[in-house]
Copies of this chain bind each other. A is one copy, B any other.
Amino acid sequence: MNGLSVANAAPQRPLPAQTLVSPDPGLQAFPPLCHCVPRSPMRSLRKKVLMVMVTVGVVAALIRSWTPKPYGAVDVRSKPDTKIEKLLEERLHLSQHTYNDVPYRLKESVAGLLARNGCVCEGESGGINLPYSHLLFPRVSAQDLHTAFKDSELEEVKRRRAQEYQGFQKRSQTAADVLIVAAANSPLQYPTQGVEVRPLKTILIPGLALRQKTRELYLVNLTATLGTFDIAAMVDNVSVRGDGETHMTLSSRLLASLNRQLQFVTYTNTLFHPNTVDTVQFETDGHQSVFTVKVRHGVTPKLYNPGPRGEYNVSALVTVATKTFLRYDKLQDLIDSIRQFYPTITIVIADDNEHPKPVNGPNIEHYIMPFGKGWFAGRNLAVSQVTTKYVLWVDDDFIFTANTKLEKLVDVLESTTLDLVGGAVREVTGYTASYRHTMSLEQGGDEGDCLHIRRGFHHAIKGFPNCVIADGVINFFLARTDKVQQVGFDPRLARVAHLEFFIDGLGTLHVGSCDDVVVSHASKIKLPWGQSESDKAYAKFRYPGPAQTKNSLLFFKNRFQCLTHN
């Protein structure tokens, strides 16, 4: 089988297929089935004869046509199988008794925690008006994000957004998200999760059995959509129909034989998809069960070689990344301060100045961008170039001091499952901020979700007394390069933006914050007559008008209707 790889139409199964008996190698519940079968001497002669025959056939085929013939065409236009969804819906209804005659009393404290129908976009009003009260009691303000668009264009924008969202759902939803309820008192035993197969490969389905009272004939059916069933071994006294097809029936008069046979049921994925889910129905007379089988390539890691054993080699593990605009003097101060403590660490600089100046030095990578391309574009560029395990983000007006111990941040990421850990930024006044924020998404139906951002954090971190878990942190952080690159900084955000990165990272980034690693912020206190030309030009770009672009992006790109924050 292996030698017949030819450049013609039919794609072939390139290699012996895969089994995932169990994700946990410790679970040895199934009898070993794979034996090394010795190659017979007849096979090489047979192979030669076969090859000669095929050569002739192939040459003829090649002459005939170069274009591939359709082979098992697949439809990638439509939603996942709605038939399965209907089936699951019906089963759900059948399994629900309504008990409408049994009265109840609401428990307000808990019922109030449940989702409302849609989310409401409101901030807070009232409260005490003390001086600086907003510092002690920051009020929650709410922004209806659709106001980022003119009334005249809003309908069209909503229509397009709905259409794009529909496409997104088609691509991202699978049967793995659908609610399945296991019926009680079913004689069927089956796996409810953990069954996975590589695309176009074959596995044993673990855990299938029938535990039924005595009857004349024991019979089970198996049905799938994206693959076929078969048996890896044959047991006497069991009748098998539909082996190799999407619907297979096993029956026997002996229950032990049927159950032995069920231990050898295989599933083969036949409709290729790199990451999807097949739904399997397993039934016997009067009882039906449903479970899903993951069909996917598997998760390939992106590991980084950390360098020699021993103390954390910060220069081998970390690249410093920053973006600069109109502040070459501050940038040079930053570089000089880094070099005091980390003489050989690589520094990546994204630069969108109109008239770029050279930024030289060993282990400095300087990237020139089109003028004014933008803040997040520059951030995305810088991190796209990092080749070390971790990336340290700094702003171009930071200054490293003796308190900027990157080893501490590295230790956090080396010892925990966090993906990103922020530090603290110390202003000239002595005020030090870690800018910790929590975020939550409240479902809002067709109008979009509501995003709630609050100052604060979730938990402290055991073993790291100065560190906490949050959802967003300050712009001084160490992070796993592969995770930051995976989330990315959206180049559509040209000017002011910060938490947008963490919004895009929700569900992907596990974020922490340690306030004992401190970088200093070059002075921001500038008297108006003391501002240089470049300071004024910078201010023009840095502090633009209303947050038009940010909110329009939150509305369209992330499909939010509302943002509340304090």
Query: What is the distance, in angstroms, from A484's C-beta to the closest C-beta of chain B?
Result: 10
In the complex where A12-B456, A19-B115, A302-B558 touch, is A107 in contact with B193 (Cβ < 8 A)? Answer: no
Complex: chain B residue closest to A418, CB-CB: B76
The residues of B that contact A27 with a CB separation of less than 8 Å are 89, 92, 179
- Judging by beta carbons under 8 Å apart, are A113 and B504 in contact? no
The total of chain A residues at the interface (CB under 8 A) is 231
User: Hey, what's the 0/1 contact readout for A1-21 against B, CB within 8 Å counting as 1?
Assistant: 011111100011011111111
Tell me if A406 counts as interface (CB < 8 A to partner B).
no
User: Hey, what's the 0/1 contact readout for A31-58 against B, CB within 8 Å counting as 1?
Assistant: 1011111000000100110011001001
Tell me if A533 counts as interface (CB < 8 A to partner B).
no
- Judging by beta carbons under 8 Å apart, are A29 and B384 in contact? no
Tell me if A334 counts as interface (CB < 8 A to partner B).
no
The residues of B that contact A323 with a CB separation of less than 8 Å are none
Q: State in angstroms the CA–CA spacing of A323 and B489 once bound together.
A: 21
The residues of B that contact A3 with a CB separation of less than 8 Å are 124, 126-127, 137, 139-140
In the complex where A179-B206, A441-B300 touch, is A140 in contact with B5 (Cβ < 8 A)? Answer: yes
Tell me if A517 counts as interface (CB < 8 A to partner B).
no
- Judging by beta carbons under 8 Å apart, are A114 and B70 in contact? no
In the complex where A126-B44, A442-B15 touch, is A7 in contact with B455 (Cβ < 8 A)? Answer: yes
Within 8 A of B (CB), among A80-115: 85, 89, 92-93, 95-97, 99-108, 110-115
User: Hey, what's the 0/1 contact readout for A151-188 against B, CB within 8 Å counting as 1?
Assistant: 00000110011011101101110001111111111111
In the complex where A3-B124, A459-B272 touch, is A187 in contact with B185 (Cβ < 8 A)? Answer: yes
The residues of B that contact A531 with a CB separation of less than 8 Å are none
Tell me if A322 counts as interface (CB < 8 A to partner B).
no
The residues of B that contact A128 with a CB separation of less than 8 Å are 48, 51-52, 55
- Judging by beta carbons under 8 Å apart, are A370 and B381 in contact? no
Q: State in angstroms the CA–CA spacing of A115 and B438 once bound together.
A: 45
Q: Which of B23, B101, B176, B414 contacts A177 (CB 8 A)?
A: B23
The 9 nearest A-B residue pairs measured at CB: A19-B115, A179-B194, A181-B207, A70-B460, A192-B192, A19-B114, A184-B211, A102-B260, A17-B113
- Judging by beta carbons under 8 Å apart, are A105 and B233 in contact? yes
Binds B, one of A396-404, A507-515, A522-530, A536-544: A507-515
Given contacts A7-B138, A365-B369, 5 further A-B contacts (CB under 8 A): A16-B112, A107-B232, A107-B234, A179-B194, A302-B557
Q: Which of A48, A76, A191 has the most CB of B within 10 A?
A: A76
In the complex where A34-B117, A234-B104, A268-B113 touch, is A275 in contact with B508 (Cβ < 8 A)? Answer: yes
Query: What is the distance, in angstroms, from A167's C-beta to the closest C-beta of chain B?
Result: 8
Tell me if A394 counts as interface (CB < 8 A to partner B).
no
- Judging by beta carbons under 8 Å apart, are A507 and B184 in contact? no
**Interchain residue pairs with CB less than 8 A apart (7):** A14-B452, A18-B114, A171-B419, A182-B289, A183-B189, A185-B186, A193-B292
- Judging by beta carbons under 8 Å apart, are B507 and A74 in contact? no
The residues of B that contact A180 with a CB separation of less than 8 Å are 191-194
Query: What is the distance, in angstroms, from A555's C-beta to the closest C-beta of chain B?
Result: 10
Tell me if A422 counts as interface (CB < 8 A to partner B).
no
Query: What is the distance, in angstroms, from A224's C-beta to the closest C-beta of chain B?
Result: 15
Query: What is the distance, in angstroms, from A394's C-beta to the closest C-beta of chain B?
Result: 19
Q: State in angstroms the CA–CA spacing of A488 and B484 once bound together.
A: 11
Q: Which of B69, B164, B274, B441 contacts A306 (CB 8 A)?
A: B164
In the complex where A26-B89, A559-B301 touch, is A440 in contact with B15 (Cβ < 8 A)? Answer: yes
- Judging by beta carbons under 8 Å apart, are B188 and A186 in contact? no
Tell me if A462 counts as interface (CB < 8 A to partner B).
yes
The residues of B that contact A20 with a CB separation of less than 8 Å are 115, 443
Tell me if A131 counts as interface (CB < 8 A to partner B).
no
Query: What is the distance, in angstroms, from A146's C-beta to the closest C-beta of chain B?
Result: 14
Q: State in angstroms the CA–CA spacing of A15 and B565 once bound together.
A: 11
In the complex where A16-B113, A92-B29 touch, is A2 in contact with B460 (Cβ < 8 A)? Answer: no
Q: State in angstroms the CA–CA spacing of A186 and B186 once bound together.
A: 7
In the complex where A300-B558, A303-B557 touch, is A204 in contact with B271 (Cβ < 8 A)? Answer: no
The residues of B that contact A165 with a CB separation of less than 8 Å are 301, 303
- Judging by beta carbons under 8 Å apart, are A68 and B468 in contact? yes
In the complex where A76-B416, A465-B70 touch, is A103 in contact with B236 (Cβ < 8 A)? Answer: yes
Tell me if A283 counts as interface (CB < 8 A to partner B).
no
Tell me if A60 counts as interface (CB < 8 A to partner B).
no
The residues of B that contact A104 with a CB separation of less than 8 Å are 233-235, 260-261, 264
Query: What is the distance, in angstroms, from A188's C-beta to the closest C-beta of chain B?
Result: 6
Tell me if A281 counts as interface (CB < 8 A to partner B).
no
Tell me if A285 counts as interface (CB < 8 A to partner B).
no
- Judging by beta carbons under 8 Å apart, are B191 and A179 in contact? yes
The residues of B that contact A296 with a CB separation of less than 8 Å are 507
Tell me if A135 counts as interface (CB < 8 A to partner B).
yes
Query: What is the distance, in angstroms, from A11's C-beta to the closest C-beta of chain B?
Result: 4
In the complex where A5-B454, A114-B203 touch, is A298 in contact with B441 (Cβ < 8 A)? Answer: yes
The residues of B that contact A387 with a CB separation of less than 8 Å are 377, 491-492
User: Hey, what's the 0/1 contact readout for A187-220 against B, CB within 8 Å counting as 1?
Assistant: 1111111111011111110110111000000000
The residues of B that contact A196 with a CB separation of less than 8 Å are 177
